[in-house]
Chains A and B, each alone.
Chain A
Amino acid sequence: MLRGGPSGARNPPSLEQINAEVFTLTYGSIVRQLIADFEDIEEVNKQLEQMGYNMGIRLVDEFLAKAKISRCSSFRDTADVVAKQALPMFLNVSANVTNWSPDQTECSLVLTDNPLADFVELPEEYRELKYCNVLAGVVRGALEMVNMDVECRWVSDMLRGDDCYELRIKLKEHRDEKFPYKDDD
């Protein structure tokens, strides 16, 4: 999806790449258009998340097909795979996994670089806008397809003056893997 040099410890599989600016600018105009269409920032946040979700449920198959990963044994593993392999593969950035909750069901992905927001300055009137909410949706959609129901929200955002992007992921339910049915009565 994006061009760029080497990143991360393990090299992500090479995908066809596009100019990062085309991508950033396209995303920017989508967000702009959503604001124009919905006028309500809360609604825009929701739409972005939904768009991300729709991408995530398709994207996960590409990741599984091309990334040659092995099965994750815990939610901890999964978070690592998202941060160290999926993000580098599709966005050419990697994240750190931190702030685990004591019961290991909640963690944060911390990004210091985010190509989605490269040229963005958030005006005062859009302070409530979660500019990168599409990513939260992608993660939720992708994990849902591998049987994990998660909740994703941005807790820090550099566009709003924080010093990193922090995406909080909370595992709500890990569904059983039996496809598609067990015993029929």
Chain B
Amino acid sequence: MSIYSLYVINKSGGLIYNRPGMLNDRRRSGHSLHAIASQLSPVPGCTGIELLEADTFNLHCFQARAGSGGTLTGTKFLLVVDPHASFIPTLLQRIYELYSDYVLKNPFYETEQVIKCELFDENVELLIRRYTQQAT
């Protein structure tokens, strides 16, 4: 079970964090996918993608969800994982907590800008390592 990559997208659609740092043109895809999915969906009041399952990976998205306390502020967390990985929503919730601690509480972090916080990097790394160890 492995975590392939993590993306954080700010509310205007810009990519502000990715791990491991492979910056490419997935930049705006998170929001676009979301916007398209919520319009295509036959379910009324659909709020976009939560989980996209593919043969080789699963894409989890953490964002405003009724009842589950996701982010209502428009920040999105995308996690691309192994199709067999489990407990991903919990992991995303933990990542959101780390973001609120190590990114937003850093007085020198400018909101909506690219995240360059070593403490956040370290803690995400630690969390993911612990998760993968636990899972295997």
Contact = CB atoms under 8 A, between A and B. Distances in A.
Interface string A84-111: 0000000000000000000000000000
A180 B12 contact: yes
A180 B104 contact: no
Interface of B: 11-13, 31, 34-35, 64, 66-75, 93, 96-97, 99-101, 104-105, 111
A58 B111 contact: yes
Contact of B66 (A59, A68, A71, A180): A71
Nearest to B98: A65
A177 B64 contact: yes
B13 A180 contact: yes
Contact of B97 (A58, A65, A182): A65
Nearest to A182: B35
Interface residues on A, range: 20 to 34
Contacts of B93: 65
A119 interface: no
Contact of B72 (A57, A64, A182): A64
Nearest to B28: A180
Interface in A49-69: 57-62, 64-69
B87 to A, nearest CB: 16
A146 B69 CA distance: 12
